[in-house]
Amino acid sequence: MNKKLMAVTLPVLMSMTLAACGGGNTATNNAGTNSGNNAEPASAAAGNTAKTEAPAEKITIHYWYAFGGKIEEAKQALVKKFNESQDRIEVIAETQGGYDDLHAKVQAAFAAGNEPAISDLEIASTGVFARSGMLQDLTELAARDNDTLKLEDFNPGLMGNAYVDEKLYGLPFMRSTPILYKNVTMLKDAGLDPAGPKTWDELEQYSKTLKEKGKVGMTMPADIWFYEGLVAQSGGTMLSEDGKTAAFNSPEGVAPVEFWKKMASEGLIKIPVGDEAGATADKDWANQLSAFKFGSTAGVSGSLEIAKGNNFEMDASFMPANVSYGVPTGGCQLVITSKLSDEEKEAAWEFLKFMTTAESTIYQHKYVGYLPTRLSALESPELQEHFKQYPQYKVAVDQLEYARPRPMETAYPEVASIVKTAIEKAIIDPKVTPQDALNEAAEKANKLLGK
Indicate whether 351 and 292 sit together in one domain.
no
Residues of the chain with pLDDT > 90: what percent?
Answer: 85
Establish if 44 belongs to a structural domain: no
Do 265 and 133 share a domain, yes or no?
Answer: no
Please indicate, yes or no, whether residues 159 and 229 belong to a single structural domain of this protein.
Answer: no
What mean pLDDT comes out for the span 11-15?
Answer: 42
Name, in order, each residue with C-beta under 8 angstroms of 53's C-beta and a sequence gap of 6 or more: 44, 45, 47
Task: State yes or no: pLDDT of 407 exceeds 60.
Answer: yes
Same domain? 259 vs 120: no
Pair 380, 416 in one domain: no
Lowest mean pLDDT among 7-16, 123-132, 250-259: 7-16
**Model confidence band, residue 450 (pLDDT cutoffs 50, 70, 90):** confident
Predicted confidence band of residue 250 (pLDDT cuts 50, 70, 90): very high
pLDDT at position 344 over 50? yes
Dihedral sign computed on CA atoms, order 389, 390, 396, 398: positive
Looking at every residue in the chain, the average pLDDT score rounds to: 89
360-383: average pLDDT: 96
SS3 labels along the chain: CCHHHHHHHHHHHHHCCCCCCCCCCHHHCCCCCCCCCCCCCCCCCCCCCCCCCCCCCCEEEEEEECCCHHHHHHHHHHHHHHHHHCCCEEEEEEECCCHHHHHHHHHHHHHHCCCCCEEEEEHHHHHHHHHCCCECCCHHHHHHCHHHHCHHHECHHHCCCCEECCEECCEEEEEECEEEEEEHHHHHHCCCCCCCCCEHHHHHHHHHHHHHCCCEEEECCCCHHHHHHHHHHCCCCCECCCCCCECCCCHHHHHHHHHHHHHHHCCCEECCCCCCHHHHHHHHHHCCCEEEEEEEHHHHHHHHHHHHHCCCCEEEECCCECCCCCEECEEEEEEEECCCCHHHHHHHHHHHHHHCCHHHHHHHHHHCCCECCEHHHHCCHHHHHHHHHCHHHHHHHHHHHHEECCCCCCCHHHHHHHHHHHHHHHHHCCCCCHHHHHHHHHHHHHHHHCC
Residue 57 has pLDDT above 90, yes or no: no
In this prediction the pTM is 0.85
pLDDT above 80 for 363: yes
- The number of domains in the chain is 2
> What is the mean pLDDT of the segment spanning 239-245?
95
Within a domain: residue 36? Answer: no
* Position 380 pLDDT exceeds 80: yes
Q: Are residues 190 and 286 in the same domain?
A: yes
User: Residue 360 falls within a domain, yes or no?
Assistant: yes
Does 41 reside within a domain? no
At residue 21, does pLDDT exceed 70?
no
> Is 52 domain-assigned?
no
Q: 287 in a domain, yes or no?
A: yes
Domain that holds residue 103: 7-30+57-176+330-404
Model confidence band, residue 275 (pLDDT cutoffs 50, 70, 90): confident
Q: Is the residue at 43 inside a domain? A: no
Let me know whether 312 and 362 are in one domain: no
Under the banding of pLDDT at 50, 70 and 90, the label for residue 20 is low
pLDDT at residue 249 tops 90: yes
Is the model's pLDDT at 329 over the cut of 80?
Answer: yes
Q: Are residues 136 and 275 in the same domain?
A: no
For residues 360 and 211, state if they share a domain: no
- 423 and 302 share a domain? yes
Q: Do 160 and 145 sit in the same domain of this protein? A: yes
Q: Is residue 123 part of a domain?
A: yes
* 19 has a pLDDT exceeding 60: no
Q: Are residues 190 and 309 in the same domain?
A: yes
* Alpha-carbon gap, residue 275 to 288, rounded angstroms: 22
Q: Is residue 54 over pLDDT 70?
A: no
| Domain at 444, CATH number | 3.40.190.10
Lowest mean pLDDT among 18-27, 32-41, 247-256: 32-41
Predicted pLDDT at 76: 98
